[in-house]
Structure 1
Amino acid sequence: MHRYTYTCPLRWADADAYGHINNALFLQYMEEARTRMFAEVLPTDEEGRRQKAFVVARSIVDYRAPLQYRDEPVDVHVWVVKGAAASFELGYEIRDADQLYAEATTTIVAYNLNTGRPRRLSDDERAFLSRYTKS
């Protein structure tokens, strides 16, 4: 399986009163990784971004261990679990080499913001996603 890995810096403001990274921020870390992964396939012009958007339809996060604030970043691994005509599911791990902090999935829908409706994935998008799909 090919994974995209984003090395995510931790910010002091992400920590709660106990020094743990707030669990809600794990969704933001996943978003940062996903956005960087998709940067290659996302349109750069405003009209293109409106016509070829992706929206999150569902997120499920299983928290495995508390992540303490520290200077070292954490890795966010992303891969494609499955795909359909207008949507796909991404898998995630937020981890270090020796510790898993969270596992998650998100269902992503290809969307046209101009029409307010889902759209089919393009051939280029399917080809891009296939690089991160389990072989």
Structure 2
Amino acid sequence: MARHLYSCPLRWSDMDAFGHVNNAVFISYLEEARIDFMFRLAPGDGSPSFSGGSVVARHEIDYKLPLVHRHEPVVIESWVTKINAASLTIAYEIKDGDQVYVRASTVVVPYDLAAARPRRITAEEKSYLLHYMDDDEKGALAA
């Protein structure tokens, strides 16, 4: 299984009064990594995949350790844990080497903005996502 790696810089304004990254800011970090991951397939190669829009149906976040400001970015690893006909689940770890600050997941629903409704995942999108799917889950999907 491949993992998508995103280098995420920390901003001074991300800190709260207690001197660490505010819990709500982690949602923005996850969004940056998710957009970078999903749009790797899209318009650069002329593919319409994922360019029509998507919506977040669910977030789950486990805060493991406080993250304080520093000049070095953190790495956000992303991978796919579930693919349904009209949704997918992306898992993440925000980390520094072996040090994990956050574990999270997001359920994403592809969305047709023009029709204002959810849409199915295309064959091209599914093929792309399978490269990043957890090997245990990939076996369950094939069964």
**Partner residue, 1:116:** 116
Aligned partners of 2:13 and 2:121: how far apart in 1?
A: 37
Pick closer, same or farther for the CA change 1:129–1:117 going to 2, 3 Å: same
Q: What does 1:33-112 correspond to in 2, within 5 Å?
A: 33-43=33-43, 52-112=52-112
CA drift of 1:49 comes to 8.4
**Partner residue, 1:133:** 133
Aligned partners of 1:62 and 1:125: how far apart in 2?
A: 28
CA drift of 1:50 comes to 9.3
AA matched with 1:133: M
Matched, 1:14 2:18: no
Pick closer, same or farther for the CA change 1:18–1:51 going to 2, 3 Å: closer
AA matched with 2:96: D
AA matched with 2:123: D
Identity of aligned residues (%): 45
CA drift of 1:41 comes to 2.2
Structure 1 contact 51–113 (Cα < 8 Å) conserved? no
Where in structure 1 are there 5+ consecutive unaligned residues? none
AA matched with 1:108: V
- Indicate the SS of the match to 2:94: strand
C-alpha deviations, 1:41-63, integer Å up to 9, x for none?
Answer: 2347xxx6897211111001010
- Indicate the SS of the match to 1:10: coil
- Indicate the SS of the match to 1:23: coil
Pick closer, same or farther for the CA change 1:98–1:50 going to 2, 3 Å: closer
Structure 1 contact 60–105 (Cα < 8 Å) conserved? yes
**What is the alpha-carbon root mean square deviation over aligned residues?**
1.7
Matched, 1:32 2:32: yes
Aligned partners of 2:104 and 2:40: how far apart in 1?
A: 23
AA matched with 1:68: V
- Indicate the SS of the match to 2:97: coil
- Indicate the SS of the match to 1:56: strand
Q: TM-score, normalised by structure 2?
A: 0.86
CA drift of 1:110 comes to 1.0
Aligned partners of 1:49 and 1:114: how far apart in 2?
A: 15
Q: TM-score, normalised by structure 1?
A: 0.91
